[in-house]
């Protein structure tokens, strides 16, 4: 479902967001700083459930890509879906850390892998799944 109620977002700015998600997942997995999961969860909630345009990091990355001439506007729907997944993953990571469980490593590993694919190639697996789901529903 395309989102026309929210202005388009820059896909290249979202590649920078993927870099941040990759870094957060790496910190969570390979350092004792598990609290960074709250940053992933908060950013995912803000961008996915409110608006990407309200997020300071997205606004910074959008300004950088605009200044560099890398602006590539896309519909916000699929990117917001990806952010909702990041919000859920970040919440699971944070709650599992608070409970003393290691189960948060599962979503952290998934974020690490898929964020790397996105930042390296521009392929957003969640965006693809979002589009595929709506193609199936319309058939």
The per-residue pLDDT for 38 is 98
**What single string gives the DSSP state of each residue in 36-50?**
GHHHHHHHHHIIIII
Residues 40-57 have a mean pLDDT of 97
- Pairwise CA distance, residues 72 & 124, whole Å: 14
Tokens standing for residue 132 = 């595929």
Q: Please tell me the pTM assigned to this model.
A: 0.92
Residue 48 forms part of a structural domain? yes
Residue 2 forms part of a structural domain? no
Tokens standing for residue 61 = 């990355």
The parent domain of residue 46 ranges over: 9-138
Residue 3 forms part of a structural domain? no
- Pairwise CA distance, residues 74 & 34, whole Å: 33
The per-residue pLDDT for 103 is 97
Residue 24 forms part of a structural domain? yes
The per-residue pLDDT for 3 is 75
Residue 76 forms part of a structural domain? yes
Q: Is the pLDDT of residue 139 over 80?
A: no
Residue 1 forms part of a structural domain? no
Total domains in the chain come to: 1
Residue 26 forms part of a structural domain? yes
Residue 117 forms part of a structural domain? yes
């Amino acid at each position: 479902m395309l989102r026309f109620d929210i202005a388009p977002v820059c896909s290249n700015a979202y590649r920078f967001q993927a870099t941040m998600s990759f870094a957060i997942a790496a910190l969570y997995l390979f350092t004792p700083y598990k609290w960074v999961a709250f940053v992933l969860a908060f950013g995912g909630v803000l961008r996915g459930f409110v608006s990407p345009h309200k997020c300071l990091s997205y606004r910074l990355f959008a300004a950088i890509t605009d200044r560099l001439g890398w602006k590539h506007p896309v519909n916000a729907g699929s990117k917001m879906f990806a952010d909702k997944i990041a919000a859920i993953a970040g919440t699971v990571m944070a709650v599992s850390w608070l409970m003393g469980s290691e189960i948060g490593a599962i979503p952290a590993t998934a974020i690490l892998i898929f964020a790397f694919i996105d930042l390296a190639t521009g392929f957003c697996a969640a965006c693809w799944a979002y589009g595929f789901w709506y193609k199936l529903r319309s058939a």
